[in-house]
Amino acid sequence: MARVSSLLSFCFTLFIFFHGYTAQKFPNECQLDQLNALEPTHVLKSEAGRIEIWDHQAPQLRCSGVSFARYIIEAKGLYLPAFYNTAKLSFVAKGHGLMGRVIPGCAETYQDSPLFQPGRGGQYGEGQGQEGRQGQGQEGRHGQGQEGRHGQGQEQGQRQSQSFRDMHQKVEQIRTGDTIATSPGVAQWFYNDGQRPLVIVSVFDLASDQNQLDRNPRPFYLAGNNPEGQVWLQGREQNPQNHIISGFAPEVIAQAWKIDLELAKKIQKPNEKHGNIVRVEGQFSAIRPPLRGQRPQEEEEERRGGEGNGLEETICSARVTENLDDPSNADVYKPQLGYISTLNSYDLPILRFLRLSALRGSIRQNAMVLPQWNANANAVLYVTEGEAQVQVVNDNGDRVFDGQISQGQLLSIPQGFAVVKRATSQRFEWVEFKTNANAQINTLAGRTSVVRGLPLEVVSNGFGISLEEARRVKFNTLETTLTHSSGPISQGRPRVAYA
């Protein structure tokens, strides 16, 4: 009978297990009684960098309907083109580099100048209108360029004289503070042309209509691979991920690209150890414009001109990048305290379609961002530098987070949850991604706060205080967003954030 007993206990355990599950069958992902500062749960290593992924099934990210990743691209690292099933908003946390996107149906507006290529200049440009010439292009060049990948450095050096004349879609220089909007299905690549690592963080909006698949982030690789598989997806853990071209029969690729079968097969078998970020040997000579911001005035004029003359209206030339690190463009700027810049669909119209916006903050030690809540958006806050003491209060009035968050950590702040931040290091810098093209905040204190909008009688009766006390609550704080904090904002030991 001992076995029967243990069986009974097993069944009972089973019952409890499922009972717990079914009791939650009405979705309540946002009944969050505790938040944590989150750190990545998965790391995908590549030849020249790594991708760090936050678990999108963690309760607070599920509630916010987003997923999050950090791309660390080493010097000369090339993040190979990939696209996602979701709208994506990225922020360059460190370094600088090049970024390209390929928008369906748009023209290759970046072309090598014919001045430097007297040899066969104009061949491809002219060849474009003449269909049926396929196959001709590769004649006469056979034998050159067969060295494979490791011969490229040498080959590339010869490029100018041999007159490979390339043309491709727009390439942009990116640098710290750039915020980049990417539509679903649009392939994007990054190249680190600096000496330091290029660090980019991205939020993926799983819950918006732009994502028509399920609520999982699904990268589609156009090149490269991921030997560890999509470890953040159940059932894909040890199933290596390949680029989509490798999934077709080699004959398809050979016929589609009009190349020989050997080359098609070679393309379909990328070096398994390289992953999705490869090291570029030799020169990376993609055509690129001068860096934005190096000539701020001209650039500004150019941009305004672009907006005025209708060029902004086509999807091919739509601006997708804005730098949030220039204090002169800040929405809130107090020399003694710091600055806050926001980016919404008024600044970057493409965000209207993507249902995303961003906020960049940089504050000095002991500066406090007055308590506030997001009226119509979920937010995720990523720390790019320093650390801060943060408190978050949920719908029940419970303090669900009270601790430090520091560089590299992520904190989810769902719609309506109230939050206060106070810098506890020399400088605290962060970026917030919000799931609304025009996210609105309400502040609890200050000149544009909710208490200022309430009649004195409401404040007084609401808090059970005198009219004179209510008057102080309403009118004492004249700042709008940032103030100076005279000391720690919690008496007890701050709860240590773990992730």
Residues in region 111-150 near its own copies by CB under 8 A = 124, 127-128, 130-135, 137-138, 141, 144-149
- Of 455, 457, 450, the residue nearest 372 (C-alpha): 450
Q: Is 199 in the site for its own copies (CB under 8 A)?
A: no
Identity of the residue, 25 or 297, whose beta carbon is nearer to its own copies in the bound complex: 25
For its own copies, the binding residue among 238, 297, 309, 486 (CB under 8 A) is: 486
Contact 342, 358 (CB under 8 A): yes
For its own copies, the binding residue among 273, 295, 304, 472 (CB under 8 A) is: 472
Identity of the residue, 283 or 296, whose beta carbon is nearer to its own copies in the bound complex: 283
Q: Is 394 in the site for its own copies (CB under 8 A)?
A: yes
Q: Is 183 in the site for its own copies (CB under 8 A)?
A: yes
E strand intervals along 315-445: 321-323, 332-334, 338-343, 357-364, 367-374, 379-385, 387-393, 399-406, 410-413, 418-423, 427-434, 441-443
Q: Is 365 in the site for its own copies (CB under 8 A)?
A: no
> Under rule CB under 8 A, which residues in 4-43 are in contact with its own copies?
4, 7-8, 10-11, 14-15, 18, 21-31
- Of 189, 200, 202, 195, the residue nearest 94 (C-alpha): 200
Identity of the residue, 257 or 296, whose beta carbon is nearer to its own copies in the bound complex: 257
DSSP characters over 270-297:
--TTTTTEEEPPS------PPPTTSSHH
Identity of the residue, 135 or 308, whose beta carbon is nearer to its own copies in the bound complex: 135
Minimum CB distance to its own copies, residue 172 (Å): 12
The interface region with its own copies, picked from 300-308, 318-326, 338-346, 471-479 by CB under 8 A, is: 471-479
Q: Is 458 in the site for its own copies (CB under 8 A)?
A: yes
Residue 250's contacts (CB-CB under 8 Å, 6 or more residues apart) are 261, 264, 265, 268
> Between 467-475 and 456-463, two packed helices, what is the crossing angle to 10 degrees?
110
For its own copies, the binding residue among 41, 111, 156, 406 (CB under 8 A) is: 156
Contact 108, 168 (CB under 8 A): yes
Helix (H, G, I), strand (E, B) or coil at 447: coil
- 38: which DSSP letter? B
241, containing H or E segment? strand 241-242
Identity of the residue, 19 or 295, whose beta carbon is nearer to its own copies in the bound complex: 19
- Of 142, 160, 35, 59, the residue nearest 411 (C-alpha): 35
Identity of the residue, 94 or 288, whose beta carbon is nearer to its own copies in the bound complex: 288
Q: Is 251 in the site for its own copies (CB under 8 A)?
A: yes
220 phi/psi in degrees, rounded to 5:
-110, 120
Identity of the residue, 177 or 338, whose beta carbon is nearer to its own copies in the bound complex: 338
> Under rule CB under 8 A, which residues in 49-108 are in contact with its own copies?
57, 63-65, 78, 80-81, 83-85, 100, 102-106, 108
Minimum CB distance to its own copies, residue 233 (Å): 6
Minimum CB distance to its own copies, residue 297 (Å): 29
Contact 64, 432 (CB under 8 A): no
Identity of the residue, 444 or 499, whose beta carbon is nearer to its own copies in the bound complex: 444
CA atoms of 200 and 73, how far apart (whole Å): 8
> Under rule CB under 8 A, which residues in 425-444 are in contact with its own copies?
435-436, 440-444
Minimum CB distance to its own copies, residue 311 (Å): 18
Identity of the residue, 373 or 430, whose beta carbon is nearer to its own copies in the bound complex: 373
Instruction: Kindly state the number of chain residues that form the binding site for its own copies, as judged by CB under 8 A.
Output: 199
CA atoms of 169 and 112, how far apart (whole Å): 12
* The pairing of beta strand 187-191 with beta strand 427-434: unpaired
Minimum CB distance to its own copies, residue 256 (Å): 4
Contact 433, 344 (CB under 8 A): no
Q: Is 346 in the site for its own copies (CB under 8 A)?
A: no
Contact 200, 70 (CB under 8 A): yes
Q: Could you give the dihedral angle defined by the CA atoms of residues 239, 243, 246 and 248, in that order, rounded to the nearest 10 degrees? A: 100
Identity of the residue, 60 or 323, whose beta carbon is nearer to its own copies in the bound complex: 60
Contact 481, 338 (CB under 8 A): no
> Under rule CB under 8 A, which residues in 304-343 are in contact with its own copies?
none
The interface region with its own copies, picked from 36-44, 293-301, 324-332, 468-476 by CB under 8 A, is: 468-476
* The pairing of beta strand 198-205 with beta strand 87-94: antiparallel
Binding mask 275-304 for its own copies (x = CB under 8 A): ---x-x---xxxx-----------------
CA atoms of 284 and 99, how far apart (whole Å): 13
Identity of the residue, 168 or 303, whose beta carbon is nearer to its own copies in the bound complex: 168
Minimum CB distance to its own copies, residue 81 (Å): 6
> Under rule CB under 8 A, which residues in 201-240 are in contact with its own copies?
207-216, 218-225, 229-230, 233-236, 239
Identity of the residue, 266 or 304, whose beta carbon is nearer to its own copies in the bound complex: 266
